[in-house]
């Protein structure tokens, strides 16, 4: 309830300062369009600090501030292969045996409007071999049913955490391996 109240108050304050630039899901909105947004649909909103890159991107329209709003999607992306989650499917595809060392790979990925999963950022990798297998598995993954907002497919960012083999704990210090 507190979050809803904060969002409502935040949107009211945002909408009363009509000189600000509003970016909603990547599109510019007017103050009037902002007033029509149901606060229940707001996932997050951030007031962006004005700097040279923001001014270069939006020009004088950003002089009084920029508010970036992300709306919730109506439906989540759906992955369904043999009743497995995406994580379970990737774990099955990488074939990491019980005799392999315990390892973890964490990636940020996007499910695109076309239903393809695409790795966007390596967050953690404790074993380069597992990382390479995860990359190959995601590249050959079946298509998802993309998330939708107002009847249109939208991109959604998620995090994939793979820890294998099941039941084995990582030991010692963990380091990020980036190539």
Going from N- to C-terminal start, the domains of the chain cover 2-71, 86-164
> Locate tokens 């947004």: which residue?
37
Q: Is pLDDT at 179 greater than 50 in this prediction?
A: no
Q: Locate tokens 């304050």: which residue?
A: 13
From 162, 118, 164, 159, select the one nearest 141 (Cα to Cα): 118
| Strands 117-125 vs 103-111: parallel, antiparallel or unpaired | antiparallel
Using a pLDDT cut of 90, give the percent of the chain over it: 50
Whole-model pTM: value is: 0.64
Helix, strand, or coil here: 119? strand
More confident residue, 168 or 127: 127
* pLDDT surpassing 60 at residue 123: yes
Residue 74 has a pLDDT of 84
């Amino acid at each position: 309830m507190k979050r809803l109240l904060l969002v409502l108050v935040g949107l009211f304050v945002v909408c009363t300062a009509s000189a600000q630039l509003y970016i909603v899901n990547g599109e510019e909105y007017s103050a009037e369009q902002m007033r029509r947004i149901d606060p229940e649909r707001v996932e997050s909103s951030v007031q962006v600090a004005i700097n040279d890159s923001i001014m270069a991107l939006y020009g004088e329209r950003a002089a009084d501030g920029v508010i970036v709003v992300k709306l919730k999607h109506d439906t989540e992306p759906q992955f369904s292969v043999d009743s497995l989650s995406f994580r379970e499917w990737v774990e099955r595809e990488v074939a990491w045996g019980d005799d392999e060392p315990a390892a973890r790979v964490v990636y940020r990925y996007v499910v695109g409007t076309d239903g393809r999963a695409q790795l966007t950022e390596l967050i953690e990798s404790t074993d380069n071999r597992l990382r390479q297998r995860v990359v190959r598995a995601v590249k050959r993954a079946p298509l998802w049913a993309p998330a939708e907002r107002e009847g249109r497919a939208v991109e959604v960012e998620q995090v994939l955490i793979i820890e294998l083999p099941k039941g084995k704990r990582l030991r010692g210090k963990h380091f990020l391996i980036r190539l």
